[in-house]
Amino acid sequence: MKIPSFLCIAASLFLSMQILTSQELTSQEAPSAAATDQAVVFPNFLTKSGIQIISSTYGSGVNFSDVTDETVKLLNQQSRFYACPEWLRADPTPGWNKALVIIFKYQDRRYLFSSGEGGKVDISLLKLKAAEQDASANP
């Protein structure tokens, strides 16, 4: 039985928000790297674009993979990729249509980008999505 795409996106959004919340709590509660003598962990910035990828999940139903690191790597290396298992190196639900949900920060605001399986993802689309969300919030 195939799951409707709107349920996939809703479940992915829910999972992304849980990851986001846990990352924020961890970053607020964690002691400084100098105090613990551990390696410094840098945020997932795409320095040439000014976009910070906060969370990226890929999957459907109840099976999702955290593909944040792969998303950052792909956008840094070639600035364009497609939401599919071959690019994201994850296939949490083989044979099923999946969704990619990216939560990102641009110009100190958070945004949500989603794409169905096979959809194009690039820096210009993320910036366009941010502009669209800003325009709809300020009619």
**Span 83-117, pLDDT tens digits:** 999 999 999 999 999 999 999 999 989 999 999 99
**pLDDT (0 to 100) of residue 112:** 96
* pLDDT tens digits, 34-50: 444 554 444 566 657 88
- Cβ atoms 88, 68 nearer than 8 A: no
User: Model-level pTM greater than 0.85?
Assistant: no
Using pLDDT thresholds of 50, 70 and 90, give the confidence band for residue 138.
confident
Distance, in Å, from the CA atom of 38 to the CA atom of 44, rounded to the nearest integer, reads 18
Across the range 20-33, mean pLDDT stands at: 45
